[in-house]
Amino acid sequence: MTPSARQMNAIPDVSVVLPTYNRSANLRRTLASVLGQHTTTRRYEVVVVDNNSTDDTRAEVENAIARGAAVRYVLERNQGVSYARNAGVAAARAPLVAFVDDDVCVDADWIETICRTFDQYPEIDCIGGKVLPIWEGQPPLWLTRDHWAPVALLDFGDTTRSINAGNRMCLLTANLACRRVVFERVGLFGTELQRVHDGIGSMEDHEWLLRFWAAGRQAMYVPELSAFTDVPLRRMTLDYHRRWHSGHGHYFALVREPEFEASRTGRLLDVPAHAYREAIRNAACWLVRWSRGDSTGAFLFETRLRFLMGYIRTRAARYLRRIWQHARGTFRARTVRSAGNPRGAV
């Protein structure tokens, strides 16, 4: 049942934040899925955040509003999905804030599942669910579930699971809902790690979850909360996955995930020793699989190696840059002191 504009005067139960950028055709389909929910007594609004689109995105939103849908338009000039999501959170009026991407369609009971779950579990601050594929073409044989992360897919099975600091499972903002109050306690999405160039390797979702867990908040994986995302052909190539894992390693180095950073055997170039060991092990496994003609198995270890090399490269480069800047600063300070106190001066 489509929420009407009359409901805009009442505080909604859920605010759906939908960031978008130059995907007006996709946006039309996403809006249809969110607005076309099964009969529900829940009130909800859709906050479409236009992140500087140059196509007819605004016209699509205005058409939905003209048809009487409970949709609001927000323009966010700062480029990046984290800026857009943060603008959506600021504009949201409901105690529950849900997120969906502009290349995603949600299940017809999506809103009802969100509200029912939060009603049933008052101790839960955040929920997420499945993000299943809509393949643009036949996926290659090597693109198994081991390679779902680069195409933004998620399926932890059909059992509800608690998620907290002791049981970390990453949810995706393509299908996520939170109590609004959690943003006051955890903060908004970080803008330093947001996606650029088709989202290759970005970690804004994961970084927010790290702060969420550090604050002792509770989340839940809800298998009934289903969404479906497009997987274009360009994301089903070996080259895309190689670049994604290298980029993921780069951003992971910036995040400094506490569990990964812990090391009992020291560090080299600000890289924990276990990262070097894992890189060597994955390189050896890749070589063995490749020599046996197992290209699928070899590629799995290659992606793990690329992640680690991206991590090591970024961390080492930043460490060496700090050393160089410190040395240069020390040299300049000594030069200034020497100039101010020439030898023999009294």
β-partners of residue 177 are 98, 127
Report d(CA 312, CA 282) in Å as an integer: 14
pLDDT digits (tens, 9 = 90+) for 264-284: 889 999 999 999 999 999 999
pLDDT value, residue 4? 53
- The model's confidence at residue 338, banded by pLDDT at 50, 70 and 90, is confident
Indicate if the pLDDT at residue 345 is higher than 70: no
- CA dist., res. 198 & res. 47, Å (int): 23
Residues 280-336 pLDDT 10s: 999 999 999 999 999 999 999 999 999 999 999 999 999 999 999 988 888 787 877
For domain 5-232, give the CATH number.
3.90.550.10
In which element (H, E) is residue 313 found? helix 295-340
Q: How far apart are CA 284 and CA 278, in angstroms?
A: 10
Instruction: Collapse the DSSP code of 40 into the 3-class scheme (helix H, G, I; strand E, B; otherwise coil) and give the result.
Output: coil
In sequence order, what DSSP letters do the residues of 44-86 get, joined into one string? EEEEEEE-S--SSHHHHHHHHHHTTB-EEEEE--S-SHHHHHH
Confidence of residue 197 (pLDDT cuts 50, 70, 90): very low
CA distance 88 to 47: 6
Residue 236 tokens read as: 């089903």
d(CA 158, CA 184): 31
DSSP string, 217-229: --EEEEEEEEEEE
More confident residue, 110 or 40: 110
Instruction: Please give the backbone phi and psi of residue 175, each rounded to the nearest 5 degrees, phi first.
Output: -155, 80
Q: Determine the average pLDDT of the residues in 29-39.
A: 92
Return the pLDDT at 346: 42
Cα separations in angstroms, 328 against 321, 325, 334: 10, 5, 10
| Signed CA dihedral, 5, 6, 10, 14: sign only | negative
Q: What angle do CA 272, 277, 279 make, to 5 degrees?
A: 100
State mean pLDDT over 172-198.
Answer: 86
- Dist. CA 88–CA 19, nearest whole Å: 8
Question: Based on the number of CB atoms within 10 Å of its own CB, is 65 exposed (0-12), middle (13-18) or buried (19 or more)?
Answer: middle
Whether the per-residue pLDDT at 33 is higher than 50: the answer is yes
What's the rounded Cα separation, in Å, for the pair 149 and 146?
Answer: 8
pLDDT 10s digits, 156-168: 999 999 998 888 8
Rg of the chain on CA atoms, in Å: 24
The helix/strand/coil state of 38 is: coil
Say what percent of the chain tops pLDDT 70.
92
Q: What mean pLDDT is predicted for residues 55-83?
A: 94
